[in-house]
Amino acid sequence: MGLNGVEIRSESQEVRNLVRDLENATTLPSRGKATKRVCDLFDSDKKVVSWKFQEWDYGKKNIKLPCNARGLFILEDDDKPEIVARGYDKFFNVDEVPFTKWDYIEKNTVGPYDVTLKSNGCIIFISGLADGTLVVCSKHSTGARTDVDRNHAESGKSFLLSQLAKLEIDSREFAKRLHELNVTAVAEYCDDSFEEHILAYEGEKVGLYLHGINLNQRDFATWPMEDVARFASQYGFKPTEHFKLEDIKKLRTFVDECSQHGSYNGTEAEGFVIRSHLKDSGDDFFFKYKFEEPYLMYRQWREVTKDYITTRSRVFKFKKHKFITNKYLDFVIPLLENDKQMCDNYLRGFGIIKLRNAFLQDYGMSGMEILNYERVKELELRNAVDFDKVDENTKFLIFPVAVIGCGKTTTSLTLKNLFPKSWAVVQNDDITSKDKSMLMKKSLELLAQPEIKCVVVDRNNHQYRERTQLFTWFEELKEDYLAYDTNVKIIGLSFFPYDELDKVGELTIARVLARGDNHQSIKSSSYGEQKVLGIMRGFMNRFQPVNVERRPDSLFDLVISLRVYNKNSSLHNAKTVLHELNKEYPVLVPEVPSSDRIEQAFNQSLNYKPKITKIVRGIGGSESKKNLPTFFSAHINNRLEIIEEISNLVQNAKLDDAAKSGIKKLFQENKFQSEFHITLSHISQRKKGTELQRATWQNLIHRYQNLISTIKIQKEERHCLSTKDVVKFSIRKLCWDEKIVGILVDLPEEHLFDVDGEAVPRINFRNEVSHITVGILETGTPPFYTNELCRKVLSSDKKRDYHVLEFEYPKRFEANVRITFQ
């Protein structure tokens, strides 16, 4: 029964329909794709299925998700499935999406506006089954886990049980009550002894802060805050502070004033969640208002501290807060150098707030006082000139984010034609060198010319990986070409919103087919329509939209949004870029040229013919090759975590001078490889490997044949494809000599898993030596030398010209399977 005695449990058929729609969504290639994870429950042999979607699919008008819940758990029961736990429908920050802009909120919502203080911890879902089983989940999992070192659901449950015990409330009766009400209690677990965030939660402040009670149904419905508060009091939860404001103008004035101080009622707070209703439907409508400062500054301090502990280098480039962050480093570095335990704890996420507060106390100001202090502002301006001052000496790089056929080259050439003496375009298709960073080298070489103000780095950059590459190359190479104090602004051109991916796909395919052979790497008349369609759809499936909330896209100084909608969209896009640059950077575009001049430049760009023809693999011609990968690898995303593990291991070890020398060189000279991976299967094993290795190679080719067929690259080009499969492994031994550093890894019996968490059969990576090349100490040493070193270690070579440390508590990691062609 519901809160007011009304039956509100969804019928089994309704839930079956939901599960059917969710299962169908797992088959989608990208937009709207669902993923699921089967989870064991604590204290029960029953299982639940956790469902989630890609973050950028929420809130899109033309993407219909089966359910908008961010956190959804359904009992695995074909006969009587039921929604066990349900989070909120995803809600957004003010100005983050069109329907959270103040104009929209004022026109389309009604009060009262229930303002709730935003807690700063980890979200926990609490519900129950009919038999009294208590269900406690984190955002997307529940039950025991061996793949993480910190189980949020388990810790949340432990705290809940102690909370209920203090009130002498039986946990099974509590679970039955939740099941009877058919609700999920949504709480924030805030406890610095478990996990630190930005705000401090110690002593009496530690606890489960109850901020919502949701009905376990497909459509979002939630209890009023007054009922949530009463429930919190009854069962020992920490109450979430809340109050009502009737008028939207009062609400806006209130949150803006709090933002100026970065606090509420004199206490630091991250922001507010505001609950209201839509005028037309009366449905619940949530949005949030987050304070930018001082939390942006605090996060920057946290990241530079972790980087310093890991690399022992304080070479950082800050976009903001340069002066005060350097003051912070001046204070904390001596402390870190003299306290190994502090470093270890910090990398595990503890002592972060304590160290920050120690600096603030020493400096004699709070975070907001520092930000508002005129002298600090003056020093920030003086010290941040490299990055913030825009004048006649400022240079500009433009990175497009597009897919083939969007008109990025036509748009880029139109802009160059308007400013032939001060703009340049470097096209990726013109780069024939094996050195892929040559794209950035050529761009910086042009930008270094006194008369050149702006260079367009003409590549699709449709994935985070490619954008990350460009920013990384820029940081590494900038001072090889430009004076150290040259300020470079990097602008992103987002050629279409993610919402329009399908429409853009149809249009760009039509464009490329109509273009015929007037393209450097896609010759539609030569390759045939089906080949072109395969290439184009591969781009669409891999497309990752610009998201300025996360790296690398947060590094853009400006993102200009464009549209792809008809044959002249490149002309319109060139005009949009000009108007936006004139507004934001008049030093680059002092005035927008006349329409006639822009059209003349546009027509000139249409006459462009590629000078270099790229011969791509597997699609015809005397130069084509069979489209075979060079090797399959497990690409390790959390590289810094492994470096932290190495740091912890060597700091606790007793090493002789020879052993210390190699490790010292690794850290102090930053000899780490830019990427970590485990080679799983190499093309050399296709014919010359053992029987198992040959079978593994063939099974991998068969498993990924559809993905492999999409790759069309130049003979000499290195290219990588990421799959959604995951390899699980643990680190075993750290070994090194004077040339190289490596890690021996263990692959468990079942180690390859698909996107649903299911073990992949018939593929068994049992190489003689599974390892990671960590760093090359002696220049010129090939990475595959790690094989030789690891074989010595495993055979206990009597020469003993190497050093070995064993990880006492081997940590488990995950890595994505990647396919490399070169």
Residues with catalytic function: 118
Q: 680 phi and psi, to 5 degrees?
A: -100, -40
H or E element that contains 425: strand 423-427
Q: In one letter, which amino acid is 692?
A: L
Q: 101 phi and psi, to 5 degrees?
A: -75, 150
In sequence order, what DSSP letters do the residues of 138-200 get, joined into one string? -SS-BS--SS-S--HHHHHHHHHHHHHHHTT--HHHHHHHHHHHTEEEEEEEEBTTTB--SS-
Tokens representing residue 807 in the block: 């990880």
Q: How big is the chain, counted in residues?
A: 822
Give alpha helix (H) positions in 184-321. Answer: 225-235, 248-261, 295-311
What would the 3-class secondary structure string for 668-726 be? HCCCECCCEEEEEEECCHHHHCCHHHHHHHHHHHHHCHHHHCCCCCECCCCEEEEEEEE
Tokens representing residue 114 in the block: 């229930």
Are 326 and 317 in contact by the 8 Å Cβ rule? The answer is no
Give alpha helix (H) positions in 275-404. Answer: 295-311, 322-337, 340-347, 352-363, 367-372, 374-383, 385-388
Tokens representing residue 551 in the block: 């790296």
Integer Cα distance of 172 and 783 in angstroms: 57
Return the SS3 of 317.
coil
Q: Which residues contact 556 (CB under 8 A, 6 or more apart)?
A: 399, 490, 491, 492, 546, 548
> % helix / strand / coil in the chain, to the nearest 5?
40, 20, 40
Are 267 and 120 in contact by the 8 Å Cβ rule? The answer is no
What residues pair up with 561 in beta bridges, in sequence order? 494
Tokens representing residue 355 in the block: 């160290």
